[in-house]
Structure 1
Amino acid sequence: MGRLFLLNLEGKIYCCKHCKTHLAVCEDVVSKSFQCRHGKAYLFNKVVNVCPGEKEDRMMMTGLHTVADIYCIKCGSYLGWKYEVAYEKSQKYKEGKSVLERFKVSGPEGSNNNWVAHEAGASDPEDD
């Protein structure tokens, strides 16, 4: 395995609950009204530090979509999915966007981790 390069985000961010890897900024939230098997999920315009699984057609509450599950690039935890293709015209806005399941991330609504704020010039301890 090669060297792992992670993008560090600034501002109010969502992180992987397991390893605290940065995933998205709050400004990229499109909707907080999504539901998944485990409860709430959020739709994002942009998510970083993830790797996709295999694309598959999946029947969802809003119709048939081609999606790829997404995983944390650092720890490999399942985080949600990315919409590749939406077959219904009314769902086309989802294409290219990602859903993060709320119970898999830390962020503004987290119980112990309200906002994870990283300002320019701030550094993290190396042994997290």
Structure 2
Amino acid sequence: MNTSQTDRRNSSIGAQSTQEAANVGHANGQSSSSSSSGSGNMVKTFQAYLPPTNRTYSCVHCRAHLASHDELISKSFQGSQGRAYLFNSVVNVACGQAEERVLLTGLHAVADIYCECCKTPLGWKYEHAFESSQKYKEGKYIIELAHMIKENGWD
């Protein structure tokens, strides 16, 4: 084997070992996912798990935890695909760029939110409410029912 063949083989073995290590982490319940950014760098994100004693809402597509029932503020919201819930806080969610939108309750600055694990659009985050009666929504999250399921302790 010449030097260039040896270098390629060693490089291939290193890449395989890295992938095997990642697979072992997933098998042991150490959930993490990697995604690449536009610059080619790898960014590792870790999935958050809510306590198993809590009733939780999870992503219908990948089952990642999204919110605890304790964080639910209201069930009387309307999303673009039907009913939606308003939450005080969420986990495993990424936010897009904020933009102004006219919603049923007036003008708001909102950012679309996505499941951090499977990238499914879930709803939006209220960044700013322009009407004083809507200020309570600022910093809160809307998740559409079409994108979540109930898990842990629901009767």
Question: TM-score band (shorter)?
Answer: 0.7 to 0.9
Letter in 2 for 1:3: K
Residue 87 of structure 1 is matched in structure 2 by: 130
SS at match of 1:90: helix
Q: Which has the higher strand share?
A: 1
> What TM-score does the superposition give when structure 2 sets the normalisation length?
0.69
Pair 1:6-2:47 in alignment? yes
Q: How far apart are 1:2 and its partner, in Å?
A: 2.5
Residue 94 of structure 2 is matched in structure 1 by: 51
Letter in 1 for 2:118: C
Residue 141 of structure 2 is matched in structure 1 by: 98
Pair 1:70-2:70 in alignment? no
Q: How far apart are 1:59 and its partner, in Å?
A: 0.3
> 4+ residue stretches of structure 1 with deviation over 2 A?
1-4
CA deviations on 1:35-62 (whole Å, 9 max, x unpaired) are 1221110000001111001110000010
SS at match of 2:118: coil
Letter in 1 for 2:88: N
Q: How far apart are 1:4 and its partner, in Å?
A: 2.3
SS at match of 2:44: coil
Residue 76 of structure 2 is matched in structure 1 by: 33
Letter in 2 for 1:103: A
Which consecutive residues of structure 1, in runs of 5 or more, have no partner in the other structure?
A: 108-115, 119-128
SS at match of 2:50: coil
Q: Which has the higher helix share?
A: 2
CA RMSD of aligned residues (A): 1.1
Larger radius of gyration: 2
Residue 117 of structure 1 is matched in structure 2 by: 152
